Amino acid sequence: MKDRKDFLLGLCITLGTIIFGLVSYIVYSEYILQNDTADRCPYQGWSYEHGETFDAGDGCNICVCNNGVIACTEKECVDLNLNGNLNE
């Protein structure tokens, strides 16, 4: 009778460990892996990673990739000559 109880206890522990492992894997693959990959930002033929900053292409503004969304500064570009004076 004791052997049967020991067998059932070992079986319960083994099955519990398997179930715990499967649940942990499902949670990891469904929530952690999917939320870990940030979207890329395509911009003027290039693809930028999340958090990467890059030139807006106008020479005076910069952009940043934020989870697939591009945000750029909107400064007015001023045309300066080599001496730092405004070109007319």
Q: What pLDDT score was predicted for residue 13?
A: 92
**Domain range enclosing 33:** 1-37
Residues 33 and 43 in one domain: no
Q: How many domains does the chain have?
A: 2
**Which residue shows structure tokens 């519990």?**
16
The pLDDT, as a whole number, for residue 21 is 87
User: At which residue do the structure tokens 């945000």 appear?
Assistant: 71
Do residue 42 and residue 83 come from a single domain?
yes
Within a 10 A sphere around the Cβ of 39, how many other Cβ atoms?
Answer: 12
Could you read off the pLDDT of 15-64 as tens digits, one per residue?
Answer: 989 998 888 888 777 766 665 566 889 999 999 999 999 999 988 999 99
Strands, E assignment, the chain: 41-43, 46-48, 53-55, 62-66, 69-72
Closest CA to 37 of 68, 1, 82: 68
Is there a single domain that holds both residue 55 and residue 29?
no
